[in-house]
Amino acid sequence: MDLEGVKRLIAEHDIKNIDVKYSDLVGNWYHIGFPPGRLESMLESGVSFDGSSIPGMRSVESGDMVVIPDVETAMIDPFTRRPTLRMLSFICDADTRIGVAKDARSLARRAQQYMMETGIADQSLWIPEFEFYLFNDAEIHNSKHSAGYKFTSSENKAELPFGYRDRDGTAVANRKGYHIDTPFDKFAYVRQEMVEHIENIGCPVRYHHHEVGLSGQQEIETEMIDFSVIVDRMMYIKDIIHNTALRNDLSATFMPKPLYDEPGNGMHFHIQLRKQGTNLFFQPGGYADLSDTALYFIGGILKHGRSLAALTNPSTNSYKRLVPGFEAPVKLFFGLSNRSAAIRIPRYATTAETKRIEFRTSDGTCNYYFAMSALLLAGLDGIKHRTMPTKENGYGPFDDNIFNWSKEQKDQLVSVPLNLEEALLALEEDHDYLLAGDVFSRELLETWVAEKTKEVEAVRNRPHPFEMNLYYGL
């Protein structure tokens, strides 16, 4: 959409406010509002703000920054009481108006440009899978003298909401929730409302369904969409999911492992490279009809998989999901239709149009711009260095469930990090591929490690509620 299109939207919908959003390092949204009459001046000069007040963005002595609205991302906000137009922005230096190294959107644009400059591909297409839980109640508290949480679900007999008696008997126990039908899929109508909003922002949805977790776990999957578009749409989709849940007196979470001993939430990414409209990953006759380019791309991701985890799985909670037994990949290998693999080749994607890979390790606590850019860079690095994944180097392909292997066999494979601290260490040791094309900067990566280390220490230094069971009476 151009400026004239935005002006038409403002007039047609009697817009009273323009809401400009930007992302911090970890993926939280911030926003600044202004009247529609200020639009053109804001596009020219930007909206000034104090970058030192945003964690990890700037130091106090050099805090002045501006956000430049991006009219191409403008759309009507479906959740505000007053008619509002929302749009994303770039975080820029106050003097140069150039996107700063730590601005997530500017970084993703640099990743796209670098891919094109390599001559390897001129387009990458992506399908994100949004997995999340919908809870009826989400009570969370942390203080010096108490800590705890309680989630309830009207779908699960074991954890019904306060005062809810399940008089119709539709709460369930002792079964999985995967594709469970109504009336037991109690929030199907909420998912449908989310999908309507998602499609209204120009993002086609492939399908949606109840996921394995019985306590309201959901999945929404888009169609294959260009990288430059989907990274922005994903931010809108996440916002749609949270706000639609709240409208229906529910609480949504993308936490990788909100419930003990229950399925976790992943954020799988399906990826395909194209050049002049041709799918570079398709070559009939080889393993799973994958081309050498696809195999090199896979090899690059697997080679850098441990350091990638610091960006694709950047929370302490991420590593509570990456445990055996829940279809979450704990070993860095690939295979056809193998849900225990870090990279799965969908068996149903058999044509030149659809052939792709699926990266299954990542989760929804990632900053989408950083994680997807890092995956793209790792894959391109594999193509440049012809990193062929083989059984001899432990990358596969392996088509059987490795959870059934002996310990000796599994120990031959490279593992994902055990925790966030280990992932951050891997990133410090292996990050040169992220510096290609000046997509990431050393300063950004150093800041990322420093900010994430604060999270590690904040969790490590607090007593865990289960420690009270183990040690209080000793």
Residues belonging to the active site = 50, 129, 131, 211, 219, 268, 339, 358, 360
CB-side exposure of 113: number of CA atoms within 13 Å? 11
- Residue 429, class by beta-carbon neighbours within 10 Å (0-12 exposed, 13-18 middle, 19+ buried)? exposed
Token readout for 178 is: 């995967």
Tokens of 190: 């909420």
Structure token pair of residue 169: 């008997």
Ramachandran angles phi, psi of 124, nearest 5°: -125, 135
Question: What distance in Å separates the CA atoms of residue 120 and residue 280, rounded to the nearest whole number?
Answer: 9
- Per the listing, tokens 């951050």 go with 424
- The answer to whether residues 104 and 54 touch, using CB atoms and an 8 Å cutoff, is no
Which amino acid is it at 332?
L
Cβ-defined contacts of 98-101 (< 8 Å, 24+): 100/57, 100/65, 101/441, 101/443, 101/444
User: How many Å apart are CA 31 and CA 157, to the nearest integer?
Assistant: 40
Number of C-beta neighbours around residue 452 at 10 A = 23
According to DSSP, the β-strands at 64-69 and 137-142 are unpaired
In whole angstroms, what is the distance from residue 256 CA to residue 265 CA? 4
Amino acid at the residue 242: H
Report yes or no: 266 and 363 within 8 Å, Cβ to Cβ.
Answer: yes
Contact between 149 and 140 under an 8 Å Cβ cutoff? The reply is yes
Q: Which of 451, 305, 450, 447 is nearest to 374 (CA)?
A: 305
**Which H or E run contains 318?**
helix 318-321
Q: Which residues contact 425 (CB under 8 A, 6 or more apart)?
A: none
Closest CA to 186 of 109, 245, 237: 245
SS3 423: helix
Q: How far apart are CA 4 and CA 151, in angstroms?
A: 47
- How far is CA 437 from each of CA 108, 114, 115, rounded to the nearest angstrom? 12, 6, 9
